[in-house]
Amino acid sequence: MKNFTKVSDISSVPLMVQKALELKANPFAFSALGKNKTLGLIFMNPSLRTRLSSQKAAMNLGMNSMVMNIDKEGWSLELTDGAVMNGTTVEHIKDAAGAMSLYCDIIGIRCFPSLVNSKEDYSELVLSQFIKYSSVPIVSLESATRHPLQSFADMITIEEHKLQTKPKVVLTWAPHVKALPQAVANSFAEWAIASNYELVISHPEGYELSEEFTKGAQIEYNQQRALQGADFVYVKNWSSFRDYGKILTQDDSWLLTNNKLKVTSNAKIMHCLPVRRNVELSDEVLNSPNSLIMQQAENRIYSAQTMLKELLENSSILKL
Ligand code: CP
């Protein structure tokens, strides 16, 4: 593994989940592994969990970390090769990534989509330019189309709470006041499918995710039918992929309640956070004993720590 940006960068989700659970049981077992190594965390967008859990993961491995909110603190980046930079951009990504590679042994980057142009967003231009021009491994801290460290943490959480080998996992759309990326939903779908879980995705018509991520999942437009017998219900809003970046409805009948959950198999409830309470998910569900939101947040440490450990152990790709 040279970089970690998607589920196909790892050989086996169950194997990685087991490695993460071993690290969770003994988080400081490899506290010398990262000695004199530096993790750079570059944010183009806000973050609470990703920022802090990645720093905590690095600390557990004995690594140093440096954080930069490049959108506020850095030069405006040019992404296009060969650009004549006589406009608003000040620094080419080639030079920025090249310099960062001199200061860091691993670089994490968060780069959200514009939600204006699907072709541009789904080409992952920012992430791929960072990979192209960096000489150290790149870890996605959420890109335009995926959030792999979140999905990995979600798989660790499901493993800890599942009562059967192949649980029924329902990913359900929820209303929101803002247009949000599809990244968490895309990523959760591809990790759940790679984990060989029964995945049902439920959303209003028009909110279909790109088939690139959902092949192998069942799509059910009736939320109540989707919830029947569910072991896990993952709640998330996303904007339309088909009518790219648009909010097609804010229908609050999609808001999950304890009453709706009666048809599930005492389902555990998941959300990646941040969540707009009583818009995207009700207080009564978020505060219920079946809610796993804090367990997911905790497992963000171990998803990041496992991936950093894998990259540190693959010393041929790190600077000496
Ligand atoms: N779930 C998640 O990535 O949270 P942050 O956006 O706060 O990092």
Question: Please, what are the averages of pLDDT over each run of 10 residues along the chain (320 residues)?
Answer: 94 97 98 98 98 98 98 95 97 98 98 97 97 97 98 98 98 98 98 98 98 97 98 98 97 95 98 97 97 98 98 72
Q: What is the reported pLDDT for 6?
A: 97
Q: What is the reported pLDDT for 320?
A: 47
Q: What is the reported pLDDT for 197?
A: 98
Q: Taking the domain 149-297, which CATH number applies?
A: 3.40.50.1370
Nearest residue (by CA) to ligand 1, atom 3, is 50
Structure tokens at 203: 């959303």
- Ligand 1 centre distance from Cα of residue 83 (Å): 33
**Cβ of residue 50 lying under 6 Å from some atom of ligand 1:** yes
**Cβ of residue 272 lying under 6 Å from some atom of ligand 1:** yes
**Cβ of residue 5 lying under 6 Å from some atom of ligand 1:** no
Under CATH, what is the fold of the domain 7-146+300-319?
Rossmann fold (3.40.50)
Atom of ligand 1 nearest to the CA of 46: 6
Q: What is the reported pLDDT for 279?
A: 95
> pTM here?
0.97
Delimit the domains of the chain by residue range. Answer: 7-146+300-319, 149-297
**Cβ of residue 296 lying under 6 Å from some atom of ligand 1:** no
CA R_g for the chain? 20
Contact 285, 267 (CB under 8 A): no
Same CATH fold assignment for domains 7-146+300-319 and 149-297: yes
Q: What is the reported pLDDT for 316?
A: 62
Nearest residue (by CA) to ligand 1, atom 4, is 49
Nearest residue (by CA) to ligand 1, atom 6, is 47
**Cβ of residue 49 lying under 6 Å from some atom of ligand 1:** yes
**Type of residue found at 207:** Y
